[in-house]
Amino acid sequence: MIKKNIFILIIILVLGAYLGIKAFDENGWDGWGFASAQVIISNEYWIRDGFVKNYFLQQIYPYSKITQYLDYPEFRNRPIDDLGGSISRGRIYYTHYPPLYLVPYFILQKIGITERALLRLFALSISLLALYFFYWFTKLVADKKIAIIASIYYGFSVTFLNYADSVQTPPWSALSMFLIMTLGILACNNFENPKKYRRYNLIIWGAYFISSLLSYDVTFYIFAYLVLLDILILKKFFWKKWLFWALAPILGFALQIIQNTWYLGLNDMVNDLSHVYANRTFRGIKNFVVGLIAPFYSMTSIKTVFVFKKTIVTLISATAIFGILLKFRQKIGLNFNYFKIVFVLTIAAVAQPFFINATGGWPYQGVLAAPFWGLLIGTASVFIINIFKQKKSDTYKTISFGILTATLLMLWSAQFYSTWAYAKEWPNNRPNQKVIDFSKTIQSMEPGKERVAFRIMPQDPIWKNQFPIFYFEYYLGMLKIDFASSHDLLIDFWWLRKTSKYPYYSFVIADNEMEIKNLRNEIKKTLPKKSISEIRNIQGQYVFVVSP
């Protein structure tokens, strides 16, 4: 078993060692670090207060007994200056994703594995398992050599490297996608064996159901893939089986609807669902088209000035490789099922952002196009190498072969350059050192006590959340409420102080010295002077603390 799979195991070992060592840098992050940080801090609510009190939903704030008051209508509905939408006051629980991806990390944190490096290693193990299924799928469709090259192309891409240790949905999405794709091919290969065929389909249904409880990032991809395999490979129209498959994500989604209704109430649940789906499905013609195509150029790391130039280069490259491989299919030893599966992968990768368009633009969704590019580039690479080995062959003299070679060199060069640039940025996605130093100082003040930060939104972007890689609250380590003006801050400062039954220390933060002095003077008019600290300048941010 090991000897037969030695090359993919070496690839997995190399990637595991590189990413595993990198995971231990405390200030490096995955490319979806914003969401990873939210998962880690959210699980504190489950650990301390239990599942039920938190509706089995994800929190987005560091643990605090004060957080519950941010869900009060008088706080959420109070008119404020929101800086054109930069400051939002939605519900405190995240209702737009199923919650199962939180559970493994909750279990690890519950049993005492709280180091972020160890959580990243767990996520990495899921991604490496997904890479093995990617290899297996490619080997089933083509052959071992093609599968190895495809795995190198995908495994050493930024699409893999930047999200493999994400403590969020990307590893789970990749695993469920590649697992079900592999099972789909195995089912087709055993169509003449009813017992095995039925068993594979039942496993597919179970995996699809679990996938729908983890994430919706590949839901429509999987369904399109499974249906098209039946139509194009088996040449069957199994509509009852498709309904059976569709039942898996429908049941998963129904559970989330029940969960969200429990928390929001029926009317707010409907409004929340319709608003979010509308925003993520159609955002204008240009954005819609970009969402459909983005996974294909994200996977290749093709970089041009304008997005549609990326699209043109990507489409021409894919069409050229597909067409030339089709022309030389007999020399390569490819049957038509290979090309049908490549077509299936194309439609499936487009189907996902067609129904949830915004997800297509998220860079980790390059994984949707990984099997497509893996098969094309793996096959083309093996073909070119074999032709150059055959000294008597005239194929390399043809225009088609020249175009294929040039296209492949361009794609490999783009991938190599992108990976090299990524590797040089070790440990990757690191916050500004000022933020790290500021947070260490802040966390040393009144440690172990209930704390809330009231902050005037800073001008310098290094102090703001930087989606998708940086979540400021993780470093701050306390509940933070942002404001556009001193007026809004003071209103909520006094309201929360009056409303909360829990005493807490208030950290008032601003990057303008005059503004922070005015805030302190206003609070001094009501509270005893001894309860208000002096103003400190910490890394260019002005801070004073108000005692309970």
Where are the chain's structural domains? Answer: 120-424, 433-546
**Whole-number average pLDDT of the chain:** 93
pLDDT value of residue 300: 93
Model confidence pLDDT, tens digit, residues 496-531: 999 999 999 999 999 999 999 999 999 999 999 899
Question: Please, which pLDDT band fits residue 291 given cuts at 50, 70 and 90?
Answer: confident
509: part of which helix (H) or strand (E)? Answer: strand 505-510
Distance CA(525)–CA(416), nearest Å, equals 62
Question: For residue range 11-30, what is the model confidence (pLDDT) as tens digits?
Answer: 999 999 999 999 999 889 99
Kindly report the length of the chain. Answer: 548
pLDDT at 307: 58
Q: In what order do the strands lie in the sheet with 536-538?
A: 479-483, 451-456, 505-510, 541-546, 536-538
pLDDT tier for residue 122 given thresholds of 50, 70 and 90: very high
pLDDT at position 308 is 63
Q: Which of 105-119, 164-178, 276-290, 293-307 has the lowest mean pLDDT?
A: 276-290
Above pLDDT 70, what percent of the chain? 98
- Contact predicate 236/206, CB 8 Å: no
Question: In which band, very low, low, confident or very high, does the pLDDT at 96 lie, cut at 50, 70 and 90?
Answer: confident
pLDDT digits (tens, 9 = 90+) for 14-71: 999 999 999 999 889 999 999 999 999 999 999 999 989 999 999 989 999 999 999 9
∠ CA 336-342-345 to the nearest 5 degrees?
A: 145
The predicted structure's pLDDT at residue 305: 58
SS3 state at 348: helix
Residue 397 tokens read as: 């003299």
Tokens of 489: 């801050």
Above 80 in pLDDT, residue 306?
no
Gap between the Cα atoms of 113 and 123, Å rounded: 13
Partners of 537 in beta bridges? 542
Please, what is the Cα angle at 58 between 55 and 63, to 5 degrees? Answer: 100
| Per-residue pLDDT band at 396 (split at 50, 70, 90) | low
Residue 532 in 3-state DSSP?
Answer: strand
Q: What is the pLDDT of residues 456-497, one digit of tens each?
A: 999 898 898 877 778 889 999 999 999 999 999 999 999 999
Give the global pTM: 0.94
Note the pLDDT of residue 482. Answer: 95
* SS3 state of residue 143: coil
d(C-alpha 444, C-alpha 267), whole Å: 44
Predicted local confidence at residue 71, as pLDDT: 95
Range 284-305 average pLDDT: 84
